[in-house]
Amino acid sequence: MVILSKPAIEQFSYIRNKQAAAALFPPLIPIVDLSKPDSKHQIIKACEEFGFFKVINHGVPMELISRLESEATEFFSLPLCEKEKTGQPKPYGYGNKRIGSNGDVGWVEYLLLTTNQDPNLATENPESFRVALNKYMAAVKKMACEILEMVADGLNIQPRNALSKLMMDEQSDSVFRLNHYPPCLDVLQSLNGNVIGFGEHTDPQIISVLRSNNTSGLQISLRDGSWISVPPDQYSFFINVGDSLQVMTNGRFKSVKHRVMANSVKSRLSMIYFCGPPLSEKIAPLPCLMKGDQQSLYKEFTWFEYKRSAYTSRLADNRLMHFEKIAAS
């Protein structure tokens, strides 16, 4: 487990308890059963209303999930000097507290990996870790493609692999992230409220597929700006709509703003597969979704251009603002 010195807590952001309070009667997180014939309609509704949903009966074997969780837990329990042998996150590697290169910090340590090549892993048995990673990522990629094809079916997009083929492309720029949030005893002692584990942001990719252990901390922002906590479920996955899918649907889907709060007692481990297109892929509203004389809300851009802009911004910045079309007065 990473040990953070006590003075370091002063660097971190806080959310005062009264500001973080959820709605009195928060809405239920949408649950989509992928085995049901009407799941595509549930997915569309959830993407329109929340930009977020939970999936059950997802087809990813628990054996693969448990094995990767075990390998990741073993990695994060290593001494800091051993974990740092994996390399600094430039952009891929091991990171501790610092998120990106623009000043964002969080009560978190992480591994950020590309899905296209075997990572350098500083463990006693790196091959075992690689096998667990590759099997897990293959299963999650398959599920994510199925979800994107259900989205295409629900929106009447032809061909139905119009979205999933971006993930299946050999040049797909998908990435995988393992986040470890150690217990933060300062949460109990702090008068300021809750400590930020990972600050509020949207994901820039098409969708992201999240799985975590049974520790709470994840929160999402609703359309009215209020925040609600997402009950953890170690047997299910959570899907975030990303900025790219928001653009492709011309704003019909909204990328969900989310954050993670540090837990005072238990560590939290999350695994996120970020489904990205090839760097050269042009991102723009899909013509088949434009009705009548409906105008595009966004300028066309390549994934490389948007990724470069996103990763030179602060976490909480509105990255899409620079790619919005200005309405004529």
Domain residues of the chain, as ranges? 31-323
> Residue 290: which residues within 8 A CB-CB, separation 6 or more?
250, 296
Decide yes or no: CATH 2.60.120.330 for domain 31-323. yes
Residue pLDDT, tens place only, 250-304: 999 999 999 999 888 899 999 999 999 999 999 999 999 998 889 999 999 999 9
CA distance 115 to 78: 23
Based on DSSP, count helices (H) and strands (E) in the chain, helices before strands.
9, 15
Lowest mean pLDDT of 35-44, 57-66, 109-118, 169-178, name the range: 109-118
Band of residue 17 on the pLDDT scale cut at 50, 70, 90: very low
CA distance 101 to 293: 42
The pLDDT score that the predictor gives to residue 189 is: 57
Q: Does 130 have pLDDT greater than 60?
A: yes
The pLDDT score that the predictor gives to residue 15 is: 52
Catalytic choice (67, 211, 268, 319): 268
The pLDDT score that the predictor gives to residue 263 is: 85
Mean pLDDT of the chain: 89
Q: Does 80 have pLDDT greater than 70?
A: yes
The pLDDT score that the predictor gives to residue 10 is: 39
The pLDDT score that the predictor gives to residue 329 is: 35
Give the count of alpha carbons within 13 A of 298, CB side only. Answer: 26
**Longest CA span, the chain:** 63
Mean pLDDT of 300-321: 93
- φ/ψ of 168, rounded to 5, equals -75, -15
What are the residue ranges of helices labelled H in 203-279?
Answer: 243-248
pTM over 0.85: yes
Q: Does 20 have pLDDT greater than 50?
A: no
Contact 75, 123 (CB under 8 A): yes
Q: Does 216 have pLDDT greater than 80?
A: yes
Q: Specify the pairing of strand 52-56 against strand 31-33.
A: parallel
- φ/ψ of 148, rounded to 5, equals -65, -30
What are the residue ranges of helices labelled H in the chain?
Answer: 17-20, 39-49, 62-76, 80-83, 126-154, 164-168, 186-189, 243-248, 303-310
Residue with tokens 């075992």: 128
Q: Two tokens at 321? A: 């603002």
Long-range contacts of 80-89 (CB under 8 A, 24+ apart): 80/2, 80/3, 82/122, 83/2, 83/109, 83/122, 84/122, 85/122, 86/111, 86/119, 86/120, 86/121, 86/122, 87/120
The pLDDT score that the predictor gives to residue 104 is: 85
- φ/ψ of 134, rounded to 5, equals -65, -40
Mean pLDDT of 194-201: 90
The pLDDT score that the predictor gives to residue 207 is: 98
- Residue 177 designated active-site: no
Portion of the chain with pLDDT greater than 70, in percent: 88
The pLDDT score that the predictor gives to residue 103 is: 79
Residue with tokens 């996955």: 237
